[in-house]
Chains A and B, each alone.
Chain A
Amino acid sequence: DVKVTQSSRYLVKRTGEKVFLECVQDMDHENMFWYRQDPGLGLRLIYFSYDVKMKEKGDIPEGYSVSREKKERFSLILESASTNQTSMYLCASSLLTENTEAFFGQGTRLTVV
């Protein structure tokens, strides 16, 4: 069973704080993703990583950065949290091989106050 685990289910942070969201997968997947989910907007891609230390911006990277120092771990960093970053954050992973399923973590509900 593929397991993608996010470090927190719920987080409350203050405006201006630096926030780290962690994601770990145990299936040796090359690809990892961070999405944010907002009602009516679907899942929007923040960042994509296809290998250790390799990353590509998604559609909404502003205000975020990522780190992938090890294959199994992909971190999302909010350098200075703002209230408009209050959202559900979903991590996912998939194999490099063409056309393979992405597996999602359980999500982190982040509230910035």
Chain B
Amino acid sequence: GENVEQHPSTLSVQEGDSAVIKCTYSDSASNYFPWYKQELGKRPQLIIDIRSNVGEKKDQRIAVTLNKTAKHFSLHITETQPEDSAVYFCAANRPHGSSNTGKLIFGQGTTLQVKP
């Protein structure tokens, strides 16, 4: 089955610096790669996602890149702010049939701390 590995497990940066979180996946059928942010005591919420037909997507300070050949995808946060401090999860789907996204398999999570 799908296996998603996420690194690093913890990341500490100074406010204004960039942060990068990397994930690898194993199932070549995966075609959807979302990133979730979970603030302390709250539910995970989608911050950005990428489909397999594009290599990069950007939304303000957040960008995601995908290398399907190498089965790698990464989250990039620029100009980090204290409110970016949270746990970040990557995920890859395991499709169900020809049109259902199917199961989402998550990485182990990265705890990002942004120091003021």
Contact = CB atoms under 8 A, between A and B. Distances in A.
Interface stretch (A11-19, A72-80, A93-101): A93-101
B105 A45 contact: yes
Nearest to A4: B43
B62 interface: no
Interface in A38-96: 40-45, 48, 50, 56, 58-59, 90, 92, 94, 96
A25 interface: no
A48 B6 contact: no
Given A42-B107, A43-B106, A102-B34, 7 more contacts: A35-B106, A42-B106, A43-B89, A98-B95, A98-B100, A99-B31, A102-B46
Nearest to A91: B43
Interface of A: 30-31, 33, 35, 40-45, 48, 50, 56, 58-59, 90, 92, 94, 96-102, 104-107
Interface residues of B, number: 29
Given A33-B104, A96-B99, A43 B44 contact: yes
B9 interface: yes
B21 to A, nearest CB: 13
Given A99-B32, A102-B34, A31 B100 contact: yes
Contact of A99 (B51, B96, B103): B51
A64 to B, nearest CB: 15
Given A99-B31, A107-B43, A42 B109 contact: yes
Nearest to A100: B101
B101 A40 contact: no
Given A33-B104, A50-B96, A101 B34 contact: yes
